Structure 1
Amino acid sequence: MTTTAIWCDRCGEPAAGADHGTCRTARELEPPRFCSRCRRRMKVQILPAGWTATCVEHGLTRS
């Protein structure tokens, strides 16, 4: 099953609506802040070996 991002996972705005070049650049160094499927703000934990981001609806994402 392929999932298409509807929302930008950094700023929470519609993914197709605007230029997200700065978001893509920032995401190289930062974890996502918003769920790209439902736009909910995620709980983010920065770890020495990476990060985890949890959406209450869609679960865990990690690096």
Structure 2
Amino acid sequence: MFCDRCGEPFTGGSHAACSAARELEPPRYCTHCRRRMKVQVLPGGWSAQCVEHGVLTR
């Protein structure tokens, strides 16, 4: 598993800053494969798409 903000492995250290930033930002990396996702910010939320694992929305 990878961090959806910085793309680094969760076992690599503390991701407290990433967790705090994710309250306001959409994810940038796929948690399964670490690929950079295509992100679209919408007035009511966001949409993020990994070419391998599909779409996440909020």
TM class, shorter-chain normalised?
over 0.9
- Which residue number in structure 1 is paired with residue 18 of structure 2? 23
> Which TM-score applies when normalising by structure 1?
0.90
Q: In the comparison of the two structures, how many residue pairs are matched?
A: 58
- Runs of 4+ in structure 1 over 6 Å off: none
Q: Equivalents in 2 of 1:40, 1:53: separation in Å?
A: 12
More helix by share: 2
Percent of aligned pairs with the same residue? 64
Cα displacement string for residues 36-59 of structure 1 (whole angstroms, at most 9, x for unaligned residues): 000000000000000000000000
Unaligned 5+ residue runs, structure 1?
Answer: 1-5
Relative to the length of structure 2, the TM-score reads 0.98
